[in-house]
Structure formats: structure tokens, C-alpha cells
Amino acid sequence: MTGTERLKKYLDENQVEYEVRKNEVAYTAQQLADLEHVPGGSFAKVVMAFADREMVMLVLPAPLHVSATRLAAALERRDARIAHEEDFASRFPDCEPGAMPPFGNLYGIPVFVDPSLAASATVFFLAGSHDRTISLAYADFERLVQPVRCDFAVASDVQQPVSTSGSVMPRRWRRGEGIASDGDGTRLRLTTLGVGAAESPRYRPAGLLLELGRWRVMLDGGPGSEPDGPLDAWLVTDIRCELIASIRHLARELALTPLMGDHQAGRLRLHWRPVVHTNHPAGGYLITLPGRVVVWAPEFLEFPAWAERADLMFADAAGWNRPIRFARGTGGHLDALSVAAQAHAHGVRRLVFAHISRPTIEAIDRGERPPFGEFASDGQVFGL
């Protein structure tokens, strides 16, 4: 029995009126609320946490965030923290990761709800899978679950940084800064929070932050190249990459699970596409807005044909003048000079090298440059 079936059975047994809807897949409650045209304040998201050593389920409106300090104070505990996925995954064996319904009573977990959710006559929530939502009266939710009302949620005060196309800005930005944005929200800002290979001696791990209006999506990254502020999603090109454990830890601090796959944030669409790189599935992202195409492909051994005619491509430069090949023929990295030639041949308008390792660092130090393309730096901002 799936988590959705289990919940429906429970609601039927208690004679509750509810509606099940099939929805587009989204991995944050606020994004799903927007896609389903549901007020964010009525969409209940679930965050698992520890209050001292006790696991608890927190239920709050999609736009709000958990304050561990407020949670500890409200529960009169010495410590409170967001739980990691491995801490609670086994408690919800019939649910997809991150799609637990706010019915902790079905799983023997105490539930605490922020009072702001009670202002909604009807609440919506994921029902055990990322493509199913259930809506029902808040009064029925409270009657069945009997959650403890607890004031632990806060609104985000994070704003985006001021930047201009092609400028370089600090990787960290201050809260409360103003934002320069187009009135119609169509200006796409891309920031290379890091441009290095995992063990680069000079650069932070390769990662790209996309910002379109209020939408914020992170691609790859790692320790030192993690974003400030909330995200709508954290996507990776390789779910088995060597930094995935660190990325998962960083994402959990934002109540997210890193994923490899397609995603939509408003009019911004990200399509995962495969590349030849290693002996397990790995890829890149074809990022589209109406009339604009960006490619994020930081690691590949063969140039991806799907990057043809991209307006902007972020590409591999681990090797300089010859490919790096893994042992036993399991994959590798195409060299920067070959990437430059292939990108030019495929009609890429602007090529940016954003995964730089030792051979290319040595070439840079010798003053060498590719015939086509440019090297990105940590914290560089691109506009489109």
C-alpha cells in the first residue's frame, strides 16, 4: 500500500470529504502552490526536525520557514534542528522522499503546526508522492491529527543582490540589499558560485545559481559554493557525483532534497539531458526561456549535441589540450581546446568554461587561452 492509498483509506474511514489531484511534479511546496494556483498560505509543507533527541513533524504554510531558535523556545527544549533525510526516511517507507503528508499520527510522530496555517479554511498538501496532492478542510485536519499549535515559522527576509551582466560580485551577499530587476521579471541572472573541479586547488566546486524574479534554482555546487537564502530547488547533473553527500547536507539545511531531472520555475524550464561522462547516468541541463537557451554541462567526455546553438553554454575544462580518461574506459573529461572547437562548430554563441581543474589552471598560469570561449570565475554574474 502506498502512502497515498494509506492516507485515503484513513480519511475514508473517518468520513472526511477530500479531493485528490494529480499535479505537475515540483519539489518545493511554494512552487507547487504556484503551479496549482493555490495560495501559498493554504499549502501545508512538512519539515522534519529534532527537538532535543525527539523527532517531530512540523507543518507550516509554504512561504514560511522553520526557525530552530523559535522552535526550541516554544517547546522549551535546549536544542532544535532540522532532520536529515537519512534520519527519517525509514519512518515513511510508503512515501517518496520529501512528499510525506502532514499526518504524523499515522507514523507515530508528534505533529506541531504553526498557527498561521489555521487561517485557511482549506489546506492542500502532498499525499505521499510528488505528483499527488490532497485538499481538505483545515478543521478536519486538526480533528484527525490533533497537532499542537506552536509558533515556530518565520518569513524569509532574503532579497536578491544588485548586479549587472558580466560583472563580478562577492559570492556572499548581504541581506537587505536592493535588487535591480526588470518589471516583467524576464531578466535571467546566472551566478557561477564556483567553477572548479571537486579537488581544485584554486576554485570552489562548480555550481550555478539561476534567478528569475523571485525564482531561485541551484545547479550542482558543494562546500564553499552553496547559495545564501531560500531556494525553489537544488538540482544536480549527477546524483552519484563525489560531492553528493555534501550537497545533500547543504540542501537539507534549506529543507530541500537534491534531485536529478527536469524542473520548472515559473517560465524558466530546466531539462536534464544525458552526457557521456562516466559508467552511470550523468548529464547536464538545457535551460530555456522564450527565445533564450542556456546550457549547464560541467562534465562530459563527448560534446553534447543537444547544446547546439545555445545562447550561453557553461562547459567542462578539466583537461587542457588532451582528454582526461578514467581507468578501465569508464569515462572522462573532454579537454578545453576540443570543447572550444566543438562548441564553435555547433553554433554556440557564448562559451564559458566553468569546471576547471589542474591541467587548465596550469595553462592559465602560462598565459594560454582557448581560441573560442572564456574562463569564468567564482562569483561571476551573467545576464541574459
pLDDT score, position 259: 93
Residue 170 covered by a domain: no
Nearest-5° Cα angle at 136, 130 to 139: 130
Q: Which of 140, 155, 170 is the last residue of a domain?
A: 155
pLDDT tens digits along 342-375: 999 999 999 999 999 999 999 999 999 999 999 9
The region of weakest confidence among 25-39, 104-118, 216-230, 283-297 is 25-39
What distances in angstroms separate CA 26 from CA 35, 47, 220, 355, 364, one per listed residue?
8, 16, 18, 28, 41
Overall average pLDDT of the 76-99 stretch: 85
- The domain that contains 365 carries what CATH number? 3.60.15.10
pLDDT score, position 171: 30
Residue 36 covered by a domain: yes
Tell me: do 365 and 219 sit in the same domain: yes
% pLDDT > 70, the chain: 91
Of residues 249 and 183, more confidently modeled: 249
Whether 114 and 60 have beta carbons less than 8 Å apart is answered as yes
Percent of the chain that is helix, strand, coil (3-state, to 5): 20, 30, 45
Tell me: do 218 and 323 sit in the same domain: yes
State the amino acid at position 261 in one-letter form.
Answer: G
Cα 156 to Cα 175: distance, rounded to the nearest angstrom? 10
Tell me: do 355 and 224 sit in the same domain: yes
Whether 133 and 36 have beta carbons less than 8 Å apart is answered as yes
Please state the pTM of the whole predicted model. 0.56
Q: Please state whether beta strands 351-356 and 312-317 pair in parallel, antiparallel, or not at all (unpaired).
A: parallel
Q: In 10 A of CB 178, how many CB atoms?
A: 9
pLDDT score, position 251: 92
pLDDT tens digits along 239-276: 999 899 999 999 988 889 999 999 988 888 999 999 99
Of residues 31 and 13, more confidently modeled: 13
Q: Which domain holds residue 86?
A: 3-155
Quote the mean pLDDT of the chain.
Answer: 86
Tell me: do 237 and 349 sit in the same domain: yes
- The domain that contains 126 carries what CATH number? 3.90.960.10
Tell me: do 28 and 80 sit in the same domain: yes
Residue 248 covered by a domain: yes
**pLDDT higher than threshold 60 for residue 174:** no
Residue 360 covered by a domain: yes
Cα 252 to Cα 87: distance, rounded to the nearest angstrom? 11
Q: In 10 A of CB 110, how many CB atoms?
A: 16
